[in-house]
Structures are given as C-alpha cells and as structure tokens.
Amino acid sequence: MDKQTILIVDDVELNRAILAELFSDIYHILEAENGREALDILEKDIDQVVMVLLDIVMPVMDGFEVLQEMTDRKLIEQVPVILITSENSDRAALQGYQLGVSDIINKPFNPEVVKRRVANVIELFMHKSNLEKLVGKQIETLEKQANKLNQVNNFLIETLSTAVEFRNCESGQHIKRIRHTTQILLEAMSKEYPEYALSPYHIEKISSASAMHDIGKIAIPDYILNKPGKLTSEEFEIMKAHCIRGCEFLQSIHYAQDEEYFRFCYEICRHHHERWDGNGYPDRLKGDNIPIWAQVVSLADVYDALTSKRVYKNAYSHEKAVKMILGGECGVFNPKLLKVFIKVAPVLERDLASNEEIADTEFSVCSFVPAQEVQAKQEESGLSSRTLRLLELEREKYRILSELSGDIVFNYDTKSDVLEFSEKYYDLFHRDIRIPDARDTIERSEVIHPDDRSLFLKRLTELTPKFPSCRIELRMMVPDQGFQWFEVSVNALWNTETNVECVGYLGKLVNIHERKTEANLLRKQANMDSLTELDNRKRIRERLISLFEENKKEEGAFFFIDIDNFKAINDNLGHMFGDEILRYIASEIKRKVRSTDIVGRIGGDEFVAFLRNSSSEKAVAEKARDICDLFRNTYKELIDKYNVSCSVGISLFPRDGKTYEELFHNADRALYYAKERGKNGYAFYNETMGNSDFKTVLTNVVDSYQLVK
C-alpha cells in the first residue's frame, strides 16, 4: 500500500528536517520553504496530500496568507492544515481557526504528541470526507425514493379517481384534463399575482390534489349520476352532497390530516362548487374566503364540463365555453382568475384540439363495455386490498423519509431502547447521536426544559394506531445559547399484525425559536398601549374578567382615572408634550400601586387601575388622593396656568359590581360625579348616582367624596 503524503511548509530547513524525521517512516514527505511554493505543490498534487504542516512566519508569503489563498481557491476544503508555530497568543490562534486550520501545535512540542495529533486529524478529515460522500449518496437515494413515492401516490390517486369516472361514464381523461388545466391556471396566477404565493412546489401539490375534487361522487346513486335529462330539485340536492361525502371519505384517512397535501385535497373537494358572489355550495363561501386552489379547480372543472360530452349534453366549442364563462352563465368567478383565464385561453384551445384527436382513437367505457365487464375490470385494475395496503405503507414510509430529510431526524426502537439522531443533532447540541437506555436518559435529561419534559412524555403515551402522530412545542438547551423553542413531530410505528404494539417512533426537530419569539412579541404588542407600555383596553378587560372568574370572593377597588383639562395641554403645548404627560402619568400610577395590581390605559387621557385585596375604603381613598396629587407634585405650573389635574371614580368589587362591565360603568358614574364637584378629586360610587335627578344628588352625596386641597 502506498504511503500517504504530508506537505511540510517552513522557511527554516532544520525545522523541516525535524518534522520529516518524525513522519518519514509513516508518510511520504513533500517540503516547501515558503507559502508560494507550498501553493504550487498543492495545485499540482492536491489529490495525494493528506496533511499540511504550516509555519506562520515565512518570507514571500506567510502562513496566514497561505490559509487565505487556500480558502479563496477552496483548497482548505480538500486538505486539513495544522499550524506549527512558536506564536502562542490567543489572537494568532483565533485568526488561524477563523481561516480554517484543523489544529494548532506550539513549539517546542512533544514528538509523540505531534504524531498522534496529526494522525487523528487525518483520520477525522478522511472520515468527514467519506461521510460527505455517503450523505451525497443518501440524498440521491432519498430523491429517487421521493420520485418513486410521487409515482405511487399519483397512481393511487388516478386509480381511485378513474373509478369515479367509470361510474360517471367518462372516458378516463377527465382527471388528467383537470390536473393539466389547473396547472396552467396556477402557473399563470403565480406570475400575474405573486401575493397568492403559489410556488412551483405548491402548484405541483395542488395540481395533484385536483384529482380528488369529485371523489364524493362514489356515494351518489347511478340513476342520478348518469341521468341524461335535467335533475329534479330533490335529485340536485343529492348530487350537491358529493362535496360533503368526499370530505368525509378524505377524513377517514387519519394519518394525513395534518399534512398540507391533505388540506389541498380537502378544501378542493369541499369548495370547488363555491362561487365568488356567495351563490355556490355547500357552504356559500364568498370572495377570498374561498381558497384560491379551490377557485382554480372550480374554473378548470367548469371549462372541462363545457367542452366535454356528457350524458346530458354534447360538447361545446372552446369559443362557446369561454364566452359562457366570461358571461357569467356558469356562475361568478374571481375577476383576477378570469383575467388569467383569458390569457391562457389560446393554450387551452390548443390542448383541447389535441385531446379531441386522442379521444377519437379511444373506446368509451359506457358505449362499448357491458356493465358486468366494467365491474370486473374495476376489480382487476383496482388492485387487491392487500396490495393496496402494502403500497400505502410503502408510500407512507417514503413520505416520512422525504419530509424529515431536511431537519434533525430521530429514530427510537422500543425493543432495544435506543434513540438515534441524524448528524445535525451533534452539530447543534454537541451530544452523542446514539443514546442507549433512552427512557431513563430522557426522564433525567437536562436538554429538555423541566417544565416541558413531562408533557412531552405524556403526549407520546397518548398516541394510538388511529392517531399515531403529534406535534409538540418544547424548550431545549442549546450550548452557549440557552433554552430555545423547538417543534417536535413524532410518528408512532405500530405492529401491523396486532395493531396494538408500538414498535418505535420516527420524528424530527425543527428550531422555531425565532418564530416563537416574534409571535410572543406580536402578542405583547397586541395587548400593550404603544405610548405608555401599559395594558391596553382589550387586555385590561381580559385580565379582569379572568380574575373575577377565578377569585369571586376577593375584594378590590376599580379606579377610573381621567386627566382634567388635558385638551389645554395639547392645544397650547403641543401633542408631543401631551404624550410626555401621558407617559409620566402612566409611570406614576404604576409606581403608586403594587406589582400585583392591574393598570392600563383605555384611550386618550383615561386610565384604569384595579387594586387587588383592597377592602378598606380608607386605604383606597388615600391611594386615590395620591393619584390626584400627581400634577401637584411635579407639574405645578400646569395647574396654575391651565388648571390641569386628575379626577378619579371608584367602584368596589364585588359590592358595586361583579363583572368588568358593571365596575367600569359604575366607576364612570363616580368619575362624572367627581368632575361635577369641581374636578381635582375622587368619588366612590353610590347607588343614588344612577337616579334621574342626578344633579340634585351631586349636591347631597358628600360622604363618598373628598376634595383634594
């Protein structure tokens, strides 16, 4: 066996000789006395060199310049480099690692240690190279399997859909024409209206799913399905039910209910008879409430129905069909879709002519084949239940492999109790990808957040043969980054003989931390007043309703706070100064109450606060007086010049109301009372405040009000 080659690069010949002495009995040695010479050797013999031992300080081109040049030429990806240098600073080490070196050895060095480290780096690099080749082959295999999966999938769909066509006395080409027309319309829509986000991937999936649009006709009686004349109103109602019956059939395929492809099939099946103006069926959806893929299949179906011969009519010409569709004779369609339909009409006309030529050479099932023979052919070409089951299992296996190939994939075997991850797990978590005794390890694992671990294990125990999959969001510890959110998708595998024994799990991990963080931020923004950063009106209401439902016996005080004469500030000092005043008031109210109390801004210059566990009216009154003094303590000049102050209306829970609306309404009445008394004060709600002779009450009810001096 030929020796592997090492390139030693150093301007000092003695250094090169020492290193050559160390390795000459194991490796073939090449030497270079400067960086330029080293690069020339690498360009010539890159396939033979398995290691470069590189000095830093050299004439012509130093070690860092060599590394940079190797990076630019992509040589650093093909051969590992070890720096051997007397420079032992962190700066030099960091620069070396940033430029792609595999290891750094400082002089003076131990010869045996150097030999071992060189051998380890070469072995690891070759292992990595072999893994990359292996991964490349695996990706190629997965792509082939995905293609095979699509072929099997399309075959099963066409088999099932064609069975419907046979019952409907079609030639077997209807499904292919619908799929083809759908694809043409979708491709045109994606170019004309990018806001629909119809990617090539989605176009392929939707076009395939279009084959399922009339699957519900399996449940429609033959005497209605193939009636040559016009349907009665009762018969038409039965015919309309095929949309619902088709969806019921699709829902029986439990494994696919979370999949995007299933959603396309389901929504196309249910909504392909809806119309833009809301006069379709079964749900009378209107406008963009109808999924765009259902709209496209609807138009494709109408066009094909017009241009095809049916038991109840002859085929119309392309021109006639287009005129009927644009004239609204077949219902109202999306104007954008009609615009695209006009553009692709010449293509559809050309394809229609081609289809007619092909149809002339084909035999019609209903015209030439007896009913008994049709049934025999269906049974023969429809495959046995055993074959269909095996094909479906194979399709499911490839589907899972195809779906999971781009993320961290894991596989757990219940018998051996071994959990295995793909290589990306090590890259992210820096942990072994193979975990024996997995049950005990997960229960003790520090990788999963303690609050999420029990939920994850519980969800796994809830999987059944009928519902074998689940998705769970949990936090996992990422080195140097802390806990981050991941979505875990798990598919349980069951013994097909007994259907009760779980033999393993397939799954994947997807990092959703950024998406989760953004969602939490949006949720916070939706619940927060942007100016004061207090809870907004919606959030205050939600929190108090929840609090009252959970703590019906807890006493508290509801404050309705209003800034008196605030308009004078905005009119004379400007809205920017007014905003500053609002922020000040918000911060002061929050500072004067406890952290357990609830404070918010409900709009304009109005605030609310709920003081929890407050049964003493005296303590509540003192807190209200503090709030009324806000301007006196800081903005006294505003009081003197613009008569600006605070007024507070107070209602007590549960005495004055047991719901948010009652407390709000009664505190508002008390606030009105406080303002009528001259503002700059507070008032407790009193039942007499609701009387019609309220102005008389204002002069009599003084016990519940104290004017702030």
DSSP assignment string, 604-629 = TTEEEEEEET---HHHHHHHHHHHHT
C-alpha of 331 from chain center: 35
282 preceded by a cis bond (ω within 30 of 0): yes
* Residues whose CB falls within 8 Å of the CB of residue 643, separated by 6 or more in sequence, listed in order: 564, 565, 568
- What is the structure's pLDDT at 519? 66
Burial class of residue 347 in the structure, from the number of CB atoms within 10 Å of its CB (0-12 exposed, 13-18 middle, 19+ buried): middle
What CA–CA distance (Å, rounded) separates 652 from 557? 5
Q: How many residues does the chain have?
A: 709
State both tokens at 429.
Answer: 């978590």
Which string of b and e fits 652-682 if b means at least 16 CB within 10 Å?
bbeebbeebebbbbbbbbbbbbbbbbebbbb
- What is the structure's pLDDT at 496? 52
State both tokens at 322.
Answer: 């287009």
What CA–CA distance (Å, rounded) separates 79 from 372? 71
Residue 139 vs residues 31, 143, 146, 149, 450: alpha-carbon distances, Å: 39, 6, 10, 15, 36
C-alpha distance across the termini of the chain, in Å: 103
**Could you report the average pLDDT of every consecutive run of 10 residues in the chain (709 residues)?**
83 82 87 91 87 89 90 88 81 86 80 83 81 72 62 52 50 74 92 91 87 79 75 86 84 59 88 93 93 93 87 83 91 93 90 60 36 40 46 48 62 89 82 88 87 88 86 91 90 68 86 77 75 89 89 89 88 89 89 90 92 89 88 72 88 92 93 89 86 41 36
What CA–CA distance (Å, rounded) separates 404 from 406? 6
State both tokens at 522.
Answer: 């949006």
State both tokens at 685.
Answer: 């709600």
What CA–CA distance (Å, rounded) separates 200 from 192? 14
What is the bridge-based pairing of β-strands 5-9 and 49-54? parallel
Residue 309 vs residues 57, 272, 486: alpha-carbon distances, Å: 85, 20, 54
Name 686's bridge partners: none
What CA–CA distance (Å, rounded) separates 648 from 680? 8
Burial class of residue 528 in the structure, from the number of CB atoms within 10 Å of its CB (0-12 exposed, 13-18 middle, 19+ buried): middle
Residue 296 vs residues 196, 206, 305, 582, 702: alpha-carbon distances, Å: 12, 10, 14, 52, 71
What CA–CA distance (Å, rounded) separates 272 from 212? 11
Name 484's bridge partners: 476
Hey, what amino acid is at 56? Answer: I
Helix (H, G, I), strand (E, B) or coil at 35: helix
State both tokens at 530.
Answer: 């942007």
- What is the structure's pLDDT at 276? 94
- What is the structure's pLDDT at 621? 92
DSSP-derived secondary structure for 534-573: SB-HHHHHHHHHHHHHH-TT--EEEEEEEEETHHHHHHHH
Largest interatomic CA distance in the chain: 113
Rg from Cα positions in the chain = 38
Hey, what amino acid is at 686? Answer: N
DSSP-derived secondary structure letter, 81:
E
- What is the structure's pLDDT at 612? 92
DSSP-derived secondary structure for 636-687: HHHHHHH--EEEEEEEEETTT-SSHHHHHHHHHHHHHHHHHTTSSEEEE--G
Nearest CA-CA partner of 71 in 102, 106, 33, 100: 100
Neighbours of 249 (CB within 10 A): 16
